[in-house]
Structure 1
Amino acid sequence: MTAGKLAGWSAVAGAVAGAVVGAAQAVAGAVVCARLARGRRRRPPLRPVPAVAESGGSLVVPAGEVSVRATAGNVSVVVPAGNVSVVVPAGNVSVVVPARDEEGRLGPCVAAALADPAVREVIVVDDESTDGTARLAASLGATVVRGTPPPPGWVGKPWAVHQGLAAAKGPVVVTLDADARPRPGLFGALAAGLEEFDLVSAGPRFACDGPVEQALHASFLATLVYRLGPIGAATPPPPHRVLANGQCLAFHRSAMLAADGFARVREHLADDVALARTLAADGWRVGLLDAGDLLTVDMHDSVAGVWREWGRTLALADVTGRGRQAADLAVVWLTAALPVARLLAGRATPLDLGLLGVRLLLAWALRGSYERPGPGLLLSPLLDPATAVQLTRATYRPRRIWRGRSYGPPRPLGPLLGGGTSGGTADGTGGETDLGSGGTCDRTDGGTGGER
């Protein structure tokens, strides 16, 4: 074959490959836009519920605006005519905080929870800490449970929560990570949410130190939105696409004990999503709701921490089937990473520019997910290629080491994986999560708190 013919065949092959990639990119872009378009139907964010300090008090929480009237021995919330209401008993919530070497972050979480009249007790499960975690928790007034080493097959965090749940006395249990910063009214709002849902998780606002950390964090968060949509679905997704945020979960104690939920996901690093999907398959109503006005989380102390820790857990590798893993990664690569890479190389196509416009709109919408939104949000698309690399590595070469403990591979969630090792698509069927008006999301946080 002559050099001319070889060059001609190469040009044809390149054109065909380009057409195939362009078609796949167009399909992936349509998937992303369809997920964002569901934002026209979203659940309202959690609102603070006034707390009652007196013993025996109760709260009636309507769907809309309320007024407060004092009565003998308690406080009642007067419900305007036509509003639907629920009753939230005061002092009914047990807060469980799993903590392993959290002396530097635990104080604000425990102090805020103890100050809330809706909270009956705060239980800190000291997960074999080597610092002063237990001493600090006890000095603040929390009940300290000395955690035992995880039994074979257990990951540290679900084992710690399992122990705290056994010690809890309140009918409603809220689990919090040590880096959570609850605001007044959160626990009453979560308890009120359990009138509609069996498991509630709260999407917080994130605190980031500096524009680079915020840019990387927002880039990772955007991949979650592209794969599963933002939070607060008006229509629940199918069980294998349910999302939860393990930094803050609420449920009825008796129901969780009966379901033996944490034991059933004991091997999973993404234990929050595994729990939500397992229980949703059992028929539980699972809600991931916007709680940005009531909860802030300071997850990481550096850019390296975001890259190493959140970039790994957001892959959801141990709760997602191989086929859907590949489809989700394809969406991220084709609609987020590839347009930026081509732009930086000076080879962007009109479709790339359109997808970059969508990504910038998402970056702007993400401002509601951060305590102090800054320029890092608009710079975050530039990090999407690196984020896609980390997400791919975490999916196919997951590191199951956390805080000095190594774990073996988990048992799969079976049909909850959505396609097993061969099935799965990127269509995101089932109305996956809350999206904002005009095809963009107002708040998009959620998913996969740090495991231990």
Structure 2
Amino acid sequence: MRILNTLQAAAAVAVAVRLARGRRRLPPLAAPRTPAPTTTARVSVVIPARDEEERLGPCLAAALADPAVTEVVVVDDESRDGTAKLAAGLGARVVAGTPPPEGWVGKQWAVQQGIEAAENEVVVTLDADARPAPGLFGALAAALEEYDLVSVGPRFVCEGVAEQALHASFLTTLVYRFGPIGPSAPPAPHRAVANGQCLAFRRTAMLDADGFARVRGNMADDVALARTLAGGGWAVGFLDGGGLLEVDMHDSAGGVWREWGRSLSLRDVTTPGWQAADLAVVWLAAALPVLRLAAGRPTRLDLGLLTVRFLLAGALRGSYTRPGPGVLLSPLLDPVAALRLTQATLRPVRHWRGRVYPASTTDVRPGRDREGAFLDPDGARPEGVTRGGRTSRPDRNAAR
């Protein structure tokens, strides 16, 4: 018991240090107030879509209506429904996606095709469940003055007490492992995180770096991309974009469990040591206090951790479009979230949207050679990546 309490104290310190970063967060992403060269960039929006007929409409309508967007490219990833017809009917340019080559996960291959088809230098990729607000694309273009790759954290559309509670509990596992969104100082590349529902970058730089090809086999493609490019010298920003972006990810608590739970562990982009450390923090600092409270035997540290957790639940209300009692009740589901995180770590999912990927595809972790250059999953140095890990991308000012 003494050893367990000591480990719990260490986990509590780790969580406290990470939460403290929230006191120095960068300001949320905001729409530009006045037209300026940095906010009037012509933006291409790329949306990979596979069987998204039911969710694509609002995303497309908002993107097409934004004055900063001059084209929306929908890559129809072999959909079996009316995705392509809907996209074309609303005014998007539809690219008929081809089957992913061997070693590629479908989303990365669809995004790669969309980037190649895009006409503008500034590219923003969106998932079909994204709901951009006016000003998002101008704000992202402006952010590219400071960063090479930008992703944003949205507000979530969650209906129902159970769905919201489970979602908020899952979200807490990310905060406990990586800290709040928008840190003022960038994390080490191997701890960088990103949200693949919305990414912004310069087309030439991404193609030169062959970014999506370098993470072609990762199921957690967004975090893999951020960590690989950050390790190669890119300035990667993960900003709070809740005022300009909403996402409607799931339609039930079961959907949260199945769909978000499959990628929550970030298993294929995290070393075994960090996986164990992350699991320990979640179990000791979040799940254990609830379990001990339920058993009627909480320690003082348990009560302190529960207090912190309920305070965090209050802070997380701002992450939801219509926060309800589910967010405040979410600490009670922390043991369930820890269980799902453990399950996803030990038994990673290797299928998505009707496609099954081999085990080797999801166990790829970008590495370095002896000279420090980042390597492809097959051990080759990607084209456009020099020794030392730097990309041979063009000068950022010249690209403008």
Pick from 291, 298, 323 the counterpart of residue 348 of structure 1.
298
Shift of 1:340: 0.3
Question: Match of 1:345, as an amino acid?
Answer: A
User: More displaced, 31-40 or 249-258?
Assistant: 31-40
Partner of 1:137: 87
Partner of 1:238: 188
Q: How far apart, CA to CA, are the structure 2 residues paired with 1:145 and 1:39?
A: 41
Unaligned runs of 5+ in 1: 1-17, 52-58, 61-86, 417-452
Q: Deviations over 1:364-411 (max 9, x none)?
A: 110111101111011101111111111001011101111111112232
Partner of 2:356: 406
Pick from 345, 368, 373 the counterpart of residue 395 of structure 1.
345
Shift of 1:209: 1.4
1:94 aligns to what SS in structure 2? Answer: strand
Larger relative contact order (C-alpha < 8 A, sep ≥ 6)? 1
Question: Match of 2:14, as an amino acid?
Answer: V
Q: Deviations over 1:293-317 (max 9, x none)?
A: 1000000111111001111111100
* CA RMSD in angstroms, aligned pairs only: 1.2
Shift of 1:90: 2.8
Q: How far apart, CA to CA, are the structure 2 residues paired with 1:137 and 1:403?
A: 19
Partner of 2:150: 200
TM-score by length of 2: 0.90
Q: How far apart, CA to CA, are the structure 2 residues paired with 1:189 and 1:351?
A: 42
Q: Is 1:112 equivalent to 2:62 in the alignment? A: yes
Q: Is 1:359 equivalent to 2:342 in the alignment? A: no
Pick from 11, 15, 18 the counterpart of residue 35 of structure 1.
18
1:153-192 maps to which residues of 2 (within 5 A)?
Answer: 153-192=103-142
2:38 aligns to what SS in structure 1? Answer: strand
Shift of 1:414: 2.4
Q: How far apart, CA to CA, are the structure 2 residues paired with 1:251 and 1:20?
A: 47
Instruction: Judge conservation of contact 2:39–2:139 (CA < 8 Å) in 1.
Output: no
Instruction: Judge conservation of contact 1:91–1:117 (CA < 8 Å) in 2.
Output: no
Shift of 1:42: 1.1
Question: Match of 2:30, as an amino acid?
Answer: R
Q: Is 1:147 equivalent to 2:100 in the alignment? A: no
Partner of 1:127: 77
Pick from 317, 336, 341 the counterpart of residue 267 of structure 2.
317
Q: How far apart, CA to CA, are the structure 2 residues paired with 1:36 and 1:209?
A: 27
Q: Is 1:223 equivalent to 2:173 in the alignment? A: yes
Shift of 1:89: 5.5
Partner of 2:29: 46
User: More displaced, 389-398 or 186-195?
Assistant: 389-398
Shift of 1:49: 2.3
Q: Is 1:254 equivalent to 2:207 in the alignment? A: no
Pick from 160, 168, 174 the counterpart of residue 210 of structure 1.
160
Q: How far apart, CA to CA, are the structure 1 residues paired with 2:167 and 2:280?
A: 20
Q: How far apart, CA to CA, are the structure 2 residues paired with 1:311 and 1:381?
A: 17
1:407-426 maps to which residues of 2 (within 5 A)?
Answer: 407-408=357-358, 409-410=360-361, 411-414=364-367
Shift of 1:37: 1.1
TM-score by length of 1: 0.80
Q: How far apart, CA to CA, are the structure 2 residues paired with 1:21 and 1:315?
A: 23
2:287 aligns to what SS in structure 1? Answer: helix
Partner of 2:43: 93
Q: How far apart, CA to CA, are the structure 2 residues paired with 1:276 and 1:104?
A: 29
Shift of 1:120: 1.0
Shift of 1:50: 5.3
User: More displaced, 288-297 or 33-42?
Assistant: 33-42
Instruction: Judge conservation of contact 2:39–2:142 (CA < 8 Å) in 1.
Output: no
Partner of 2:287: 337
Q: Deviations over 1:321-349 (max 9, x none)?
A: 00000000000000000100111111111
Q: Deviations over 1:91-144 (max 9, x none)?
A: 510000000000000001011000011001000000000100000000000000
Partner of 1:300: 250
Instruction: Judge conservation of contact 2:122–2:202 (CA < 8 Å) in 1.
Output: yes
Q: Deviations over 1:26-54 (max 9, x none)?
A: 01001101111122211011111258xxx
> Aligned pairs, how many?
366
Question: Match of 2:13, as an amino acid?
Answer: A
Q: How far apart, CA to CA, are the structure 1 residues paired with 2:21 and 2:251?
A: 34
Greater Rg over alpha carbons, structure: 1
2:98 aligns to what SS in structure 1? Answer: coil
Instruction: Judge conservation of contact 1:96–1:161 (CA < 8 Å) in 2.
Output: yes
Q: How far apart, CA to CA, are the structure 2 residues paired with 1:233 and 1:107?
A: 33
Instruction: Judge conservation of contact 1:134–1:144 (CA < 8 Å) in 2.
Output: yes
Instruction: Judge conservation of contact 1:50–1:188 (CA < 8 Å) in 2.
Output: no
Q: How far apart, CA to CA, are the structure 1 residues paired with 2:141 and 2:310?
A: 36
1:120 aligns to what SS in structure 2? Answer: strand
Q: Is 1:22 equivalent to 2:5 in the alignment? A: yes
Q: Is 1:328 equivalent to 2:278 in the alignment? A: yes
Provide the identity percentage: 70
Q: Which runs of 4+ in 1 moved over 4 A?
A: none
Shift of 1:246: 0.1
1:125 aligns to what SS in structure 2? Answer: strand
Q: How far apart, CA to CA, are the structure 2 residues paired with 1:50 and 1:20?
A: 55
Q: How far apart, CA to CA, are the structure 2 residues paired with 1:181 and 1:309?
A: 19
Instruction: Judge conservation of contact 1:92–1:170 (CA < 8 Å) in 2.
Output: yes
Partner of 2:383: none
Shift of 1:276: 0.5
Partner of 1:372: 322
Instruction: Judge conservation of contact 1:172–1:251 (CA < 8 Å) in 2.
Output: yes
Instruction: Judge conservation of contact 2:286–2:335 (CA < 8 Å) in 1.
Output: yes
